[in-house]
Amino acid sequence: MDYDLILVGVGGQGVISLSEIVTEVACQQGIPVNFYPIKGMAQRGGFVKAQIRLGRKVTGPNIPQKGAELVIAMERSEALKAVRFIKPGGDFLLFGYVWAPAAVMLGEASYPTLEQVLVQVQEAGGRMYYLDPASLPLYEGTSVPTNIFVLGVAVGHTGLGEVLDPSGVARIVQTRWARGMERNLFAFQAGLEAQPSEGHEVHGG
């Protein structure tokens, strides 16, 4: 089965790490995989995009427009850059964090509203799963890593859960980093059990 996913966000949010976990689990399950990250320079705070193509033995790195079964967007504005890649009927998971560029903070540039993003995804035929950034759970008093939580949501609620074995993902989440094993597993489990708002239930602001 072919399954293409696109991940977008801002450098520093863990988009690449999240993608590497997906890639590694797929590889362990024997699913052919090509993972292509585009992250610009070494600096944080820039646009990051990753493309993961699962299931094709021979495949080019770029996913065509309207071709992705799943988009995972970790920042509200950057989500818009992935909309044209969603396959009509595909899953669009948005963690609605706002990472405002300086010009936006100063009120010199505009920033899209949640409503705008939701409308665009809907018009492209994407099935929206929305996570309020305030829903990021705490572990021992501090926020869990966003990317692991979002991965949990993706595996628990979107088509990705039918492609990747959740226990295999949990294993990598626990073993990838020497530190924070319990915290990461907690983040992943919390994602699996989270309740993202779907489609029409999302109220933009």
Partner 1 sequence: METRLLTGNEALALGALHAGVKVVTGYPGTPSTGALASLLAMNPEGVRVEWSTTEKVALEIAAGASWAGQRALCTMKMSGLNVAYDSLISIAYSGCIGGLVVYVADDPGVHAGMAEQDSRGYALMSDLPMLEPASVVEAYRLVQSAFELSEQVGSPVFVRLVAAVANSKASVEVKKPATIPQREAKLVRDITRFTKAGSAICTAQHRGLLARLEKAGQVIGKMGLNQLQLSPSIPQNGERERGGAGRLGIVASGVTASYLEEGFEIAARFGFERDTASLLRVTAVNPFPAEEVRALLRHCSTILVLEELEPYIEEGTYVEAQRMGFAGRIVGKLGGPFERLGEYGVEQVVRGIVAALDLPIPEDLFQGDEATERLAAKRPITVCAGCPHRGTFMAINRAIRKAGYQKDEVMVTGDIGCTILGMNPPFYTIWTEVSMGASVSLAQGYVHGGIQTPVIATIGDSTFFHAGIPGLIDAIQYQVPLTLIILDNGWTSMTGMQVNPGTAEAFQRSGNRRVDIAKLVPALGVEHFFVIDPFDLEGATVTIQRALVLPGVKVVLARQECAIQAMRRGIQAGKVRVVTENCNLCKLCITRTGCPAIGIGEDTVVIDPALCYGCGLCSQVCNREAIVKEPVTWTTT
| Interface contacts to partner 1, rule CB under 8 A | 10, 20, 23-24, 27, 32-38, 40-47, 56, 58-67, 77-78, 80-81, 83-86, 100-106, 109-112, 116, 120, 123-124
Nearest distance in Å: CB 186, partner 1: 20
- Residue 148 gets the label, from left (phi > 0), alpha (psi -120 to 50) or beta, of alpha
Nearest distance in Å: CB 193, partner 1: 27
Nearest distance in Å: CB 122, partner 1: 11
Q: Strands, DSSP E only, in 55-115?
A: 68-73, 86-95
* CA geometry: angle 188, 73, 113, nearest 5 deg: 125
Residue 6's H or E segment, with its range, is strand 3-10
CA distance 205 to 201: 13
- 24 vs 91, which CB is nearer to partner 1? 24
Tokens of 49: 């995009």
- 173 vs 194, which CB is nearer to partner 1? 173
**C-alpha neighbours within 13 Å on the C-beta side of residue 102:** 2
- 18 vs 63, which CB is nearer to partner 1? 63
Nearest distance in Å: CB 106, partner 1: 6
Is 123 buried (19+), middle (13-18) or exposed (0-12) by CB count in 10 A? exposed
- 124 vs 155, which CB is nearer to partner 1? 124
Q: End-to-end alpha-carbon separation of the chain, Å?
A: 38
Residue 51's H or E segment, with its range, is strand 47-54
- 49 vs 157, which CB is nearer to partner 1? 49
- 40 vs 193, which CB is nearer to partner 1? 40
Nearest distance in Å: CB 68, partner 1: 10
Beta bridge partners of 131: 95
Nearest distance in Å: CB 9, partner 1: 11
Tokens of 157: 């609620």
